[in-house]
Structure 1
Amino acid sequence: MSTSLLVTKMQKAAEQDGIDADIFAVSASDADNNLANKPVDVLLLGPQVRFMKGDFEKRLASKGIPLDVINMADYGMMNGEKVLQQALTIIGDK
């Protein structure tokens, strides 16, 4: 699963930047379970499921959790630093 490689690179980037973050990936079908049982500051969708963004926006509206789709180029290049910065920017705008 390429998403798990991206998560590993994001975790490494967070560690190098001194950021304490719990970064994890789950399948779209398991997202609701994780959203109900884990504290979530931001949800990033992989570009391959960007068509689900509207559905997730409806699910997250009452929870106040921001949502975005990972940039396709950053995902393709497995650029953990840029995707981490995307998440941090979204959290900062919250």
Structure 2
Amino acid sequence: MKKIILVCSAGMSTSLLMNKMRDYAQRIDYAIEVKAHPVSEIGEIGQTADVILLGPQIRFNLANVQKQFPDKPVESIPPTDYGMMNGENVVKLAQKLLGDI
């Protein structure tokens, strides 16, 4: 099971995206665990992730998070996918970063 951490400012809208991602992954039989956390917790929870995805509102932290976790794929969620709560595209992004597609 792949562990995906979604990181944002407070965790509210990212929680909605997390549910959409879970729904899509279940439909395609892709085993994931998705959790949403505020950026203030990244140091504590980042080690448990296979991939870390940042919400567009905090993408300015991308280089810092990549530096903090050089052995993990870290990327920013495209603003359009985030705004549309497109769980399918975000799962596909995670799959690509993990080399699963």
Q: Distance in 2 between matches of 1:12 and 1:31?
A: 24
Give the TM-score taking structure 1 as reference length.
0.90
- What SS class does the counterpart of residue 36 from structure 2 fall into? coil
Distance 1:20 1:66 in 2: 18
- The answer on whether the counterparts of 2:51 and 2:98 sit within 8 Å (CA) in structure 1 is yes
Q: 1:71 aligns with which of 65, 71, 78?
A: 78
For the pair 1:35 / 2:46, whether they are aligned, the reply is: yes
2:58 pairs with one of 32, 49, 60: 49
- Cα deviation, 1:2-58, whole Å, max 9, x if unaligned, reads 10000000001001110111111100001111124x2x1111100000000111011
Count of matched residue pairs: 89
CA RMSD of aligned residues (A): 1.1
Q: What is the rounded CA distance, in whole Å, between the counterparts of 1:79 and 1:35 in structure 2?
A: 23
Counterpart residue type for residue 45 of structure 2 = N
CA distance in 2, matches of 1:35, 1:6: 19
TM-score of the superposed pair, with normalisation by structure 2: 0.84
Task: Specify every segment of 5 or more residues in structure 1 that has no aligned partner in the other structure, as ranges.
Answer: none
Measure the CA separation in 2 of the matches of 1:32 and 1:8.
23
Structure whose residues are more often helix by fraction: 1
Residue 82 of structure 1 corresponds to which residue in structure 2? Answer: 89
Query: Bigger radius of gyration, 1 or 2?
Result: 1
Instruction: Tell me how far apart the structure 1 counterparts of residues 29 and 52 of structure 2 sit (CA, whole Å).
Output: 21
Alpha-carbon separation, structure 2, partners of 1:3 and 1:35? 16
2:35 corresponds to which of 1, 15, 24: 24
